[in-house]
Structure 1
Amino acid sequence: MNEQESPPPAAEDFVGRVLAVVESIPAGKVMTYGDVAAALGSRASRAVGQAMAYYGASTPWWRVIRASGHPPADHSAAALEHYRAEYTPLVWSRDGRYRVDLTAARHAVDDGT
């Protein structure tokens, strides 16, 4: 994960809101990029991914995963260490690859309704 000083002013509010949602995900739970976007009232899952790539290094980034249940691209080994430490439910394939069990681990944000 890359980390820069601060986001551009136009994106600052969106990035800050993304990071706040990520910080609210409990240990052992996950949200997809789309889930984070939906929690913000948006459909911009790719923008969530960009925000995480540039500004998410100091957050629990491993708790934001792809819709398939796979960890962030190119971070599967580092994410696995966190998943094991947090007892995140995983599903293993015969070829030794894993994904997060979304049915068991998905975190739902309380939207107040």
Structure 2
Amino acid sequence: MVRRRERCLVVVLWLLCVGEWVVSELFADQAYEVVRLVPAGQVVTYGDLGELFGRSPRHVGRVMSGCGGRQVPWWRVVNASGRLPGFLLVEAAARWRAEGMVLRDDGCGVVLRLCRADLVALGDVIEASVGELPGLRRGSGGGFSSGDGW
């Protein structure tokens, strides 16, 4: 009887893990598609994407860390200070400059107030391309809002 319960528990845990993996893969695919829609020369934050998907900024960061080789403009997603991790800065700074973004004085990020995408307009593009996502709610002005610009 105990062994049977243990086996059932293992199966349930396995199904939960596989289910979470499938959800994470779906989230990753959607997140990458949304990042592809961010216009050249503009950025969004991990928090912006997290709010859009109903996820934490850390979850978005974890997903973005796995986008290598998927043709995703990863340099267009920055932290709340307009920065990226140090090991990405050399390549990111070159891409930011190539897209005409204004860099911080220290060169370690973008000036967010000048480079941040228009989140309302981006919300409209996202809805047209990807469909409605958890964080997209119709605002009174025809755009989208979720408390911080969506």
State the TM-score bracket (shorter-chain normalisation): 0.7 to 0.9
Q: Which ranges of structure 1 fall in alignment gaps of 5 or more residues?
A: 1-7
Does residue 9 in structure 1 map to residue 19 in structure 2?
no
Bigger relative contact order, structure 1 or 2, given CA contacts below 8 A and separation 6+?
A: 1
Superposition deviation, residue 67 in structure 1: 0.8
- 1:3 alignment counterpart: none
Which amino acid is 2:74 matched to? Answer: W
Give deviations 1:28-59, integer Å, cap 9, x for gaps.
Answer: 0001111111122x141111111111135420
Question: How many equivalent residue pairs?
Answer: 103
Q: Does 1:44 align with 2:56?
A: yes
- Among 97, 108, 112, the alignment partner of 1:98 is 108
**Which blocks of at least 5 consecutive residues in structure 2 are unaligned?**
1-20, 124-135, 137-142, 145-150
Matched, 1:54 2:54: no
- Name the CA distance, whole Å, in 1 between partners of 2:59 and 2:41: 24
Contact 1:62/1:82 (CA < 8 Å) preserved in 2? yes
Amino acid at match of 2:113: T
Give the equivalent residue in structure 1 for 2:40: 27
TM-score, scaled relative to structure 1: 0.80
Q: Residue type of the partner of 1:102?
A: L
Give 1:21 deviation, angstroms. Answer: 1.2
Q: Give structure 1 regions of 4+ aligned residues with deviation exceeding 4 angstroms.
A: none
TM-score calculated relative to the size of structure 2:
0.62
The 1:49–1:73 alpha-carbon spacing in structure 2 relative to 1, beyond 3 Å, is farther
Return the alpha-carbon distance in structure 1 between the equivalents of residues 76 and 111 of structure 2.
12
More helix by proportion, 1 or 2?
Answer: 2
The structure with the greater share of residues assigned to strand is 1
- What RMSD in Å do the two structures reach over aligned CA positions? 1.9
Native 8 Å contact 2:46 2:60 kept in 1:
yes
